[in-house]
Structure 1
Amino acid sequence: MNLVFMGTPSFALPSLREVIKNFGVKAIITQPDRPAGRGQKLTPPPVKLFAIENGIECLQPQSKAELYKTLESLKPDCVVVVAYGKILTKDMLSIPKFGCINLHASLLPKYRGASPIQRSLLAGDRFTGNSVMLMDEGMDTGPILSRQIVKINQEDNYQTLSEKLSKMGAFLLVETLKLWFKGEIKPKPQKGNPTYAPPITKEELRICWKAQAQSVINRVRAFFPEAYCLTPKGERLKILRAKLAEGVGEAGEIIDKKRLVVACGEGAVEILDLINQKGKRVSGEEFIRGYREGFLL
């Protein structure tokens, strides 16, 4: 079986490892290197680093036209896609005999789009899952080959839930491919009302203390480790972990001087861990001992 794997972030790595182990991969296609970090240094994506370490050909088409030519030259029997980051066109999808098979981290048609894991946490969902689908021209609209339900624990954040879904999804993907290649599984149309998971914006990362306390906690979990607030001096604090607390006050007011408890529009939260103004990770109790302001913004 001539397989091509398309993926970009670390979420794709467990699937890539399992596909290589069970089928082999002729080539890997990933997104181009992008500027990252404070210095905006050109940085290869995790999938490219894996390919280099394992001696697998890795291609990085810059345009749709180049991507089509790349797929056409590889002549794959099947293209396996996990978090590649771009929608494939009709002419690309028609190249492989067994189609393009995609692992998506939601129970489709819920959370079609770029940020299904973050959106499920932001909504306070108790369950999410993985879907393996046969890709069509739409954004995550293809028929379903298999699904699995995954419980979201209270302590889960974007990092832990991503790891859980990526590892479980890798095994689901491989077992589904085996059945698909044998002709023992049939695609089923998606059922239910679709919802969408658009890309995360910078504005969404900032905590609004006027929101309800549980909503604040959901934001911290969904955007870990980037959810933040400001001090009255304009210094940024990244909030890593929080829980519900008792107390009332004006939104953003610190209402406990021994623990970092902040009043919300409804209820209050205790900040358990954060990254302070100096970039150091500290507990809420450590932070409050040296903090002289009575509010967070």
Structure 2
Amino acid sequence: MKKVIFMGTPDFAVPVLERLLQEGYQVDLVVTQPDRPRGRKRILTAPPVKTAAEAHDIPVFQPEKIKDNYQEIKDRNPDLIVTAAFGQLLPKGLLEIPAYGCINVHASLLPKLRGGAPIHYAILEGHQKTGITIMYMAEKLDAGDIISQQAIDIADQDDVGSLHDKLAKTGADLLAKTIPDIFSGKAKRIVQKEEAATFAPNIKREQEKIDWKKPQQQVYNHIRGLHPWPVSFTTWQGKILKVYRAERTNRTIDQAPGTIVDITETGIEVAVAANQSLLLTEVQPAGKKKMSAADFYRGVGSNMSAGEILGNE
């Protein structure tokens, strides 16, 4: 029986680990990031992959910096290392340990969208398709040789949450089909075209702010491309207003971008570029919980007036 070590951290990696176990592979160790404080109360919380590993009684290793501490992996002498959204680059010494190499399940069609936020950027940039790439790992970020790929469509209503779930399942399925070829020596090695590479770095706070001067589709993509995390925002009366969901309208309006056109139980209509508008349907005012447009209208909505400008601050 070939020995496998799995390395992953967030929810995306859990179906991949579960599929390895379902396929009967001997997972000797799970490597994940250390427990981190989460939420407003900063409660120390285990990564989802750790929780999954413990449910299967698999030993867990949580190094702060893998490049400085991987003796535990070396001691187990794995035949194959499988990673999925682990969150750290693997050093050369670690990459050279397994006889069958280190492979990564990446949530894009490489060489497009290398980096830590490929699902977000696929929506933010308005892509029609994305997918999963299984690749041999290299010292350079997401630049190793491609073994297999599977494309999926991005629906117009998809957000990061729904696309994440589709890709996690696709990644698990493709891995199950790919590993036998690796162990049998039939796996392909397709060199990535560097000139075609694009990047998807982790989202920064300043990227979360909505630019109402952009076209309707771009603003719509921005909102769903940051939902359910880290969530887009604008400002209203000097305070943060988070925007979770929005819908496009067919109305032609003549207000400047960012202007509140109307407030009703169906949503807050806001002007964008080219005489178009968006209807904000789920928001979170400062100091309040996330709420539907109807709840906003019945509550704090009376403090909002048509003609106000969002995002000026």
TM-score (norm: length of structure 1): 0.94
* Identity percentage of aligned residues: 37
For residues 65 and 197 of structure 1, do their structure 2 counterparts lie closer, same or farther at Cα, with a shift above 3 Å needed?
closer
1:83 pairs with 85, 100, 109, which one? 85
| 1:231 and 2:255 matched | no
Structure 1 unaligned residues grouped into runs of 5+? none
Structure 2 counterpart SS, 1:167 = helix
Aligned partners of 1:137, 1:210: CA distance in 2, in Å? 40
**Shift of residue 72, structure 1, vs aligned partner:** 1.1
Give runs of aligned pairs for residues 87-102 of structure 1, distance below 5 A.
87-102=89-104
**Shift of residue 144, structure 1, vs aligned partner:** 0.6
Aligned partners of 1:43, 1:76: CA distance in 2, in Å? 28
Determine the structure 1 residue equivalent to 2:66.
64
Structure 2 unaligned residues grouped into runs of 5+? none
Give deviations 1:8-28, integer Å, cap 9, x for gaps. Answer: 000000000001111131110
Aligned partners of 1:19, 1:71: CA distance in 2, in Å? 18
Aligned partners of 1:216, 1:53: CA distance in 2, in Å? 41
Paired letter, 2:269: V
| 1:292 and 2:295 matched | no
Query: In 2, are the aligned partners of 1:254 and 1:263 still within 8 Å (CA)?
Result: yes
Structure 1 counterpart SS, 2:58 = coil
For residues 257 and 35 of structure 1, do their structure 2 counterparts lie closer, same or farther at Cα, with a shift above 3 Å needed?
closer
**Shift of residue 277, structure 1, vs aligned partner:** 3.9
Aligned partners of 2:192, 2:134: CA distance in 1, in Å? 11
Structure 1 counterpart SS, 2:104 = strand
Paired letter, 1:161: L
1:166 pairs with 168, 175, 197, which one? 168
| 1:20 and 2:21 matched | yes
Aligned partners of 1:263, 1:151: CA distance in 2, in Å? 29
**Shift of residue 214, structure 1, vs aligned partner:** 1.5
Query: In 2, are the aligned partners of 1:78 and 1:96 still within 8 Å (CA)?
Result: yes
Determine the structure 2 residue equivalent to 1:249.
255
Give deviations 1:145-174, integer Å, cap 9, x for gaps. Answer: 100111000110000000000011101011
Aligned partners of 1:154, 1:227: CA distance in 2, in Å? 18
**Shift of residue 65, structure 1, vs aligned partner:** 4.6
Determine the structure 2 residue equivalent to 1:3.
4
Give deviations 1:230-273, integer Å, cap 9, x for gaps. Answer: 21141x32212112222231222111233411001332111122
2:220 pairs with 217, 223, 227, which one? 217
| 1:33 and 2:26 matched | no
